[in-house]
Amino acid sequence: MSKIDYLYDWFQSYVRAYYTDDRFVMDRVLLKEEHSKRVAASSASLAEHLELDTRQKILAEVIGLFHDISRFRQVTEYRTFVDAESFDHGDAGAKEFAKSGILHEFTAAELAMIGFAIINHNKMVIPPACPQTELFAKIIRDADKLDIFRILPPIQADHDYSPKLISQLKPGGVLSYTDVKTLADKRLIRLSWFYDIYFDWTLEKLVEEGHLERQLAALPDTEDCVVIKDTMKAYIAKRLSL
């Protein structure tokens, strides 16, 4: 039995309490349950790759497992994963974790880092923090995006993009969800996530698994979009020394 098996047991019984006959909710509970476990595994792999010590590897894995802990209550009470229509699931997740029965397993410093990572896994940027605290926030953001790219269905929409987002993405950069006006805009948001990947380990996986190519292919070959695609390809090539 691994050192953190009991944390998985706790997580499992927490999630099981949200199991329901309501198909809509149940499908989404299972989706987030599986997502959380895969993100925990990716966080652990990334921590291993970064040669973190045993305790740090455990923290990275725990954050991965619990980062979306408030999603279960969110979909049960609000029937949505849209934060703007319910609550900020990063902030709520940290509060949920702070109420959990596993707190005594961590030091005050570790709890602060876990809380910070959960709160900031879904924010535009990571606010200033000490390097160690920042590290765990970066790991969860990368591991989360890796899994999201693996499971996202393609966006079914025409090519009706907001000029503001097009002009922000042309020079390269992360976009804000609040500027999304059309369904098609979500393609631009997804593509911009590649500018928000911290570790080359993650970027390499995204490229190897074809996620970059898939997101690029979803954009048309208009003048603006060709600029966006070329800027992105040049950025990736530079990061990965291709």
Residues in the site for Fe ion, rule: CB under 5 A?
A: 68, 122
- Taking CB atoms, the residue at the shortest distance from Fe ion is 68
Distance of CA 78 to the CA centre of its chain: 21
Q: What is the spatial distance between Cα 1 and Cα 3, in angstroms, rounded to a whole number?
A: 7
Q: State which residue, 206 or 236, has the beta carbon closest to Fe ion.
A: 206
Residues contacting residue 206 through CB under 8 Å, at least 6 positions apart: 145, 146, 149, 194, 197, 212
Burial 201-227 (b: 16+ CB within 10 A, else e): bbbebbbeeebbeebbebbeeeeebee
Q: State which residue, 56 or 122, has the beta carbon closest to Fe ion.
A: 122
CB of 144 to Fe ion, least distance (A): 6
Q: State which residue, 61 or 68, has the beta carbon closest to Fe ion.
A: 68
CB 122 within 8 A of CB 90: yes
Q: State which residue, 44 or 118, has the beta carbon closest to Fe ion.
A: 118
CB of 105 to Fe ion, least distance (A): 22
Question: What is the DSSP secondary structure assignment for residue 170, as one 8-state letter?
Answer: T
Q: State which residue, 117 or 206, has the beta carbon closest to Fe ion.
A: 117
Start-end of H helices in the chain: 5-16, 23-49, 54-66, 71-78, 89-98, 108-120, 131-151, 163-169, 185-192, 200-208, 211-217, 223-239
Q: State which residue, 120 or 122, has the beta carbon closest to Fe ion.
A: 122
CB of 228 to Fe ion, least distance (A): 26
Q: State which residue, 122 or 202, has the beta carbon closest to Fe ion.
A: 122
CB of 75 to Fe ion, least distance (A): 12
CB 86 within 8 A of CB 80: yes
Question: What is the DSSP secondary structure assignment for residue 35, as one 8-state letter?
Answer: H
CB of 43 to Fe ion, least distance (A): 13
CB of 69 to Fe ion, least distance (A): 9
CB of 70 to Fe ion, least distance (A): 9
- Length of the chain in terms of residues written: 242
